[in-house]
Structures are given as C-alpha cells and as structure tokens.
Structure 1
Amino acid sequence: MKLKTSMLAVSAVVAAIAADSANAQSSVNIYGLLDTGVMYVSNVGGNKLFKIDPGAQAPNLWGITGREDLGGGLKAVFKLEGQIDLNSGAAINGLFGHQAYVGVSDSKYGTLTAGNQIDFMFDSLIADRWGPAFPFVNAMSLRQGGFVGLDNRRGFMNGSFDFDRSLGAPIANSIKYQSPVFSGLSFGAQYAFGGVAGSFSTNSGQSYGVNYHIGNVSLNGAYTYIKSYDSKNFPTAPESNIRNFGFGTSWVLGNTELGALYTNTANTVNGAQIGVYEADVTYTFSPFLHAHLEYQYMKGNGVLNNAHANQETLTVLYSLSKRTSIYSALALQQASGMNAQILMTPGASSGGRQTAFDLGLIHSF
C-alpha cells in the first residue's frame, strides 16, 4: 500500500513538472564538440615532435543550455559549458570553466546575463565576423608568438598565448548585455567586478562590441580592458593591465568569403604592444568540402625588442555527415627577434621557424 501511494505521488510530481514545462515552453539541451587528431611539429626546442593533439581545430566542449518562456516575449536563459582534455578526460579550469551564466532575454530589448562569460574580442571579431566561415577555421591560425614580456602572469606560454583573446577567453564575475539587431546593427557591453574591498576597479574588466551587416558584408569592432585579472592565480607576478581593441570585415561572394582583421594588444603598465594584420579567404567547393587560407603579420614594439612574425595557415575540412568531419591543417610561422611558436603547439621552436601539421576528426552532438 505504501509503495502504491509513493508511486502515485511520484507520478503526480512528474505530471506536474511536465505540465509546467509545456505551459512555460521550457527547453534544456545538452551539446558537445569533440576534436582529436595527430599533430607533427617540426621544431619544439630543437626537436621534431609527433603527438595526439585534441582541440587543434576547435576546443573540446560540452555544455547545457536552457530557456523558459516567462510570457510577453521575455525568457529566462542559462548556459553551463566546460572544456575537457580529451586525452585524459580531465576538466580544464573546473567543471564549467569555459562559460557559466544565467539571465533574461527579450526579442525587443536584448539579452542580459551574469556569470563567467566570453568577451567581445571573440564574439564580434571572430564569431560574428567570420559568420558562415567560422566552423572551417583551425585554431592554429589564431594568435601566438614568443613575445616575452607582454604579460608576465602568463609566462608558462612565453607571455603571449592568445594575446588578443581571439580564441575565446571568458571573464569571470561579469554582467553582459547583447542588443537585438536593429536594421543590421547590434552592439554589446560587458563589465566584470573586481571584488576588492575599498578598490572598485582593481581586478575589474570591461568589453564592448559592435556589429553591422549590410547585404553580404560584415563590419565589426571590439574593445576589452582587463586590470590584473589573474592576480588570484598569479599573486606574486607584477601588475599587468591588458588592453585589446580590433576592427575587421568579411564579404561573402558566392562560394567565397573574404576577410580582414586588425587587432592591437597592449600592457598599459610596461608599455609592451603588439599589432596584428590578418587577411583570410574561405572557399566552399561543395556542401561537404571547405578550405580556409589565412595570412597574419604580428609586430611587437620596442619594449618587445621589435620582434615580429609572419604566419600562413591552410585548413581543409570535409564533412562526412552533419555532425562529423575530417580535417587537415598546415601552419608555418617565420619569426624574427624571438623563437617561433604556433598556437596549439606544445612549445616554442629553437629558432625563428616552426611548422605544424594536424590531421584529425571532429564530432558535434
């Protein structure tokens, strides 16, 4: 009798939840992106290297998103997203260290969220600007070089790993607003609270983005400034306030997408600065076969000994299905005044040249 009563109670609860979900038009989705491959690097500290390399085409992610219709066009939204090391299965930066936020969204007024969120150097200059080409761009084409002295808190990667935040780095403790699209124009703003008693701006951050689409042309701009944001992880390192800005464009012409981008990264404490000039083209041979070619020139100022580098990256991606693709990527960097280092390779070269080749498989769910 007790068992029957308990089962009836459980059934009632399940029915109530189902009814609430139907009435509120709620949805919760689990998704993921898994990427692994074999990488060859011509010069890591003077030696050749072969390795299993997860995450060269795209980061290995899994997450949960959800929304609830609150009525009148207003929705509650959330995202919990983690990044994993596919070789070991370990979480990177915690269970949901890549993104974690909750907020409200309205089709007329935009979206307001709070949590650990990626800033507009990625949202505007990469995701929005590349648009249709975004899935076909290899992460090795993003920023890296041995610009020692740019940011001493990140010395484990010569201080310059993803220095202009184009790979997609989150800012913790932040509030973010993203507008709806007004006749092709959208914009956003983000502010991160430092949480230091008696000093409102210490460890704070801010980011802004603007996007304008007219026909097949996209115009994008972004600005991000972070004040010693990693001081909790690197408490003994000197202060490093990092300012980034950039602007870019893309243009879709039939099967071809052309793009250009300029970013500028500066440490406002020691005066170190890097400018990056980029041009890229993506070509769609068929719905299954895509190629992306990118050239970038990175130039440090006098504080960074005027070090500079040229890099060329070619990616070819073939879709086996809607969810699974194979890809190959070749990246070459020629550096002067520093050791070469391509993003996602395990270390800097012993000189001014480094070549990396990656062959892999990527699956989404």
Structure 2
Amino acid sequence: MKKHPILVSLMASLFLLPGVVRAQSSVTLYGILDTGLQYLSGMPQKHLVSMESGDLVPSRWGVKGTEELGGGTSVIFQLESGFSSTNGVLACGIFCREAVIGVTNPAWGTFKVGRIGGYEIQNDSFSADPQLMNIFGVSTLVRGRNWTYASNTLEYKTPILGGLTIKGQYDLTNSTSFNAGNPGSGPGQLYGPQGRSDGIELTYQLGPAHFLAIYDEIRDVNGQFDNVYQNSRSLMAGGTYDIGPVTMYGGYQHLSAPQASAEGYFGSTGATPTALKGGMGLPTVADQEWIGARWNVTPAAALMAAVYHTNANKGNGNANLWTLGGTYLLSKRTYLYSEVALVTNSKTSNIGLDDGYSDPYGANRDDDPLSGPANTRTNPNFGGSQVGFVAGIVTHF
C-alpha cells in the first residue's frame, strides 16, 4: 500500500474549510488482484475449465483515510469496490464492498456508519477456517451463506479488553416496517434486497489460542427467515491453536430459517411440487462442522488441509468436503496459491463446489422445469460428487 499525494491534496481541498487549522491526515490507495484457473468435474455437462477472479480473495480496489482530531481520536473513511480481474467488470456497483465513515480512539473503540458491504459480520467466520477465504472452504457446504453483504450499517468495535474484543452491527431497513426492508434497500447474499439484519461477534486471544463466536441474522424483504442458506439466523463458534509452525482450526455453524417458504427458495409457490426430490421438504435447519490445520513449512510456503461436514433437515441429506491447499510467497506483496477439493453428497443432497452464488439452494435443475436446462448450473446431480482444482496468483498494492 502507498500514500497517494494527489488524492491527499484533493481530499484536503474538498473537506477542509478555509481558516480552520488543518489536522494531520492521510489517504491511501490500495487493492488486491486475484486471477487463476479453475477446474470442476461432476456437472451435468461433464466438466468445466475456466479463468476466475477471486478464488482465494476477492479482487478489489479502494481508498481509505484518516484525519487526526487530537487526544488520540481520528476520523476514518473507506471506499472499496469489488471487480473481476478477468474482464474488469464491477462486482455489484461502485464502492459496493464498503462505503463508511467513522470515528476511532484506542481508549474507547471504533464506530462506523454507512455501507458495510462485504464486511458484514458473518464474513469474519473465515478467520476460523484453515482455507481462509478460499472458494472451497467454510462457505461451500452452506451454499455461500457466509458471503453476506449489508447496507445502512451502524458498527461498533471495542478496544482489546484483556484479550477480549466485541463487535456489533445493526443494519437499518430504511423502511417503515421494523423487520421488512425496502425492496431496493441493499444486497444480501445474492446482492438482492433484504430486510433487517444484525449481528454480534466476540473474539478472545489467550496465548496460542484464539476463540471466535458470531451470531447474525438476515431477513428477507418481508422480515422473514425464509431460506436457511440466504435469509436465516446463523450461530457460529470456532477457533485456532498454534503449535509451533502448525495452526489447528475447528468450528461449528448452525443455520435456522423457521419461516422457510417456496418463495424464499424458488421464487414461486408453484415450483415446490416439481422442484423438490421425492421425500424432501424445504430445509429449516442446517448444521456444519469442520476441522483442519495450516502448516507454515517455511517462511514462504504453507500447506492447508481441512474436512467439513453438513447436514440439513426435512430430508435434504448431508455432504462432506475434503480440501488440500497451499500458498507460496514470491514477495511481501505477491504469492501463488492452489487448492484441490472433493465434495460427496448423500442421495438427497446436491451441493457443489462453486461459489454458492451460481448454485444456491434449490432443487437439482434437472428435476425443476421452472429453473432451466441442466447446462445452466455447476452443482452435481443428487447423490453425486464433484472434484475441483484452482491455481492462481495474488498481488497486493
């Protein structure tokens, strides 16, 4: 990351009034580019080889800055945009990943308001995953539920208090209804509108051990928990433990959507009879557990391995995910990565290895005439398995 003098000058001229004593301030331009190749097998159309952006970390660029007010207090801001490094297209509009302003002080913490975007509190679950933000990891078996977005956010984070840190988020609906949202108010998991969302996170560091607990809830535009993988309650607990060059990981996540509805899953009540496999109902609960390790083989090279398991109720079966990955530092800012994964499904499960956005929960499209032909999806058939491989390069600036 580097300071950009032109941006510093521009921000100063725009925001500092004449005659006011200028406080010390800084503006930083930063970004990440992640581009790689991906292979997926086990699809109705056999297999797929593609170039992808963000298989390890989302490609992005942004501007952030601080202005010191004195007494340790500073005003902060951050604007961040996600994009595809394969074609240059924005992920979801300018500064959709973050657009916040806040105030921070080491004595009492940090308060932010604005578009929290891709930093919705559930995204912190990746710190308890040995694959971190890799495409095959803690978000795979919950069909992208941990890749959540939020708007109209108020966030407060405490300073570290004896190893404990608490963070809370509350996302306004911008609606006259407390729970229901304005249909255009802001994206959730699939960049679609959502109702009220909120969450709280506790982290605790004790020597080589790090503990994490997150509770968050995301409602649909009607204020309901109608899809366990999109609009639901999530309770997640996990942690890490360092043993020399090896870090052990483990965690558990419980998802609940008591008002599961055909509209929440398929967009139409008429889809339910034909979309669901025989004996299945709409899931209202899903549970996920995982365990893994990260081994820093050398200062430049690391290996990661993990196993994940999930089970959904109402006859939706279970799935297992095995992963093995690695990273290699070329410099302080640039590194290579790779990962191979295998997912296996029980006879009433069809979870795939894609990112969860292009294959969210819904019926196997072979059995759902309302969702189009099989070649529009990347997840396997019911009871099927899938192998995936990714390799890419990441650079920070």
Per-residue CA shift, 1:32-66, capped at 9, x if unaligned?
11111111111222411111122111111111111
Q: Secondary structure at the match of 2:122?
A: helix
TM-score (norm 2): 0.75
Per-residue CA shift, 1:88-133, capped at 9, x if unaligned?
211111111111111111111111101121232223x333x46xx6
| Counterparts in 2 of 1:200 and 1:364: CA distance versus 1, 3 Å | same
Q: Which residue of 2 aligns with 1:138?
A: 134
Query: 1:114-263 counterparts in 2 under 5 A?
Result: 114-117=113-116, 118-123=119-124, 125-127=125-127, 129=128, 138-145=134-141, 161-163=143-145, 165=146, 167=147, 169-197=148-176, 199-202=177-180, 203-229=195-221, 239-240=226-227, 241-263=231-253
Q: Which residue of 2 aligns with 1:148?
A: none
Q: Secondary structure at the match of 2:81?
A: strand
1:141–1:343: 8 Å Cα contact kept in structure 2? no
2:35–2:85: 8 Å Cα contact kept in structure 1? yes
> Offset of 1:21 from its aligned partner?
12
Amino acid at match of 2:173: G
Pick the aligned partner of 2:381 from 345, 350, 358: 350
Q: Which residue of 1 aligns with 2:104?
A: 105
2:316–2:349: 8 Å Cα contact kept in structure 1? no
Identify the range of structure 1 (110-119 vs 238-247) with the bigger mean alpha-carbon deviation.
Answer: 238-247
Q: Which residue of 1 aligns with 2:320?
A: 310
Q: Secondary structure at the match of 1:24?
A: coil
Determine if the alignment matches structure 1 residue 69 to structure 2 residue 68.
yes
Query: In 1, distance between residues paired with 2:225 and 2:166?
Result: 34
1:46–1:349: 8 Å Cα contact kept in structure 2? no
Q: Which residue of 1 aligns with 2:361?
A: none
Please report the RMSD computed on the Cα atoms of aligned residues, expressed in angstroms: 2.7
Query: In 2, distance between residues paired with 1:28 and 1:105?
Result: 16
| Counterparts in 2 of 1:113 and 1:137: CA distance versus 1, 3 Å | closer
2:143–2:351: 8 Å Cα contact kept in structure 1? no
Q: Which residue of 2 aligns with 1:154?
A: none
1:142–1:343: 8 Å Cα contact kept in structure 2? no
2:233–2:255: 8 Å Cα contact kept in structure 1? yes
Amino acid at match of 2:344: Q
1:119–1:224: 8 Å Cα contact kept in structure 2? no
Q: Is there any run of 5+ residues in structure 1 with no aligned partner, and where?
A: 1-9, 146-159
2:73–2:103: 8 Å Cα contact kept in structure 1? yes
Query: In 2, distance between residues paired with 1:360 and 1:33?
Result: 13
2:82–2:96: 8 Å Cα contact kept in structure 1? yes
Identify the range of structure 1 (310-319 vs 344-353) with the bigger mean alpha-carbon deviation.
Answer: 344-353
Q: Which residue of 2 aligns with 1:335?
A: 345
Q: Is there any run of 5+ residues in structure 2 with no aligned partner, and where?
A: 1-8, 181-194, 261-282, 359-377
> Offset of 1:22 from its aligned partner?
10
Determine if the alignment matches structure 1 residue 294 to structure 2 residue 306.
yes
| Counterparts in 2 of 1:335 and 1:72: CA distance versus 1, 3 Å | same
1:116–1:170: 8 Å Cα contact kept in structure 2? no
Q: Which residue of 1 aligns with 2:333?
A: 323
Amino acid at match of 2:319: A
Instruction: Return structure 1 stretches of 4+ with deviation > 6 angstroms.
Output: 19-22
1:137–1:315: 8 Å Cα contact kept in structure 2? no
Q: Secondary structure at the match of 2:136?
A: helix
Identify the range of structure 1 (23-32 vs 170-179) with the bigger mean alpha-carbon deviation.
Answer: 23-32
Amino acid at match of 1:266: S
Query: In 1, distance between residues paired with 2:238 and 2:21?
Result: 43
2:32–2:58: 8 Å Cα contact kept in structure 1? yes
Q: Secondary structure at the match of 2:232?
A: strand
2:225–2:232: 8 Å Cα contact kept in structure 1? no
TM-score (norm 1): 0.82
Query: In 1, distance between residues paired with 2:215 and 2:66?
Result: 29
Query: In 1, distance between residues paired with 2:122 and 2:52?
Result: 26
Amino acid at match of 1:62: W
Q: Secondary structure at the match of 1:140?
A: coil
2:218–2:225: 8 Å Cα contact kept in structure 1? no
Report the count of equivalent residues.
Answer: 322
Identity within the alignment, %: 25
Greater per-residue helix proportion = 1
Query: In 2, distance between residues paired with 1:200 and 1:218?
Result: 36
2:35–2:51: 8 Å Cα contact kept in structure 1? yes
> Offset of 1:201 from its aligned partner?
2.6
Q: Which residue of 1 aligns with 2:190?
A: none
Amino acid at match of 1:116: R
Query: In 2, distance between residues paired with 1:238 and 1:325?
Result: 40
> Offset of 1:333 from its aligned partner?
0.2
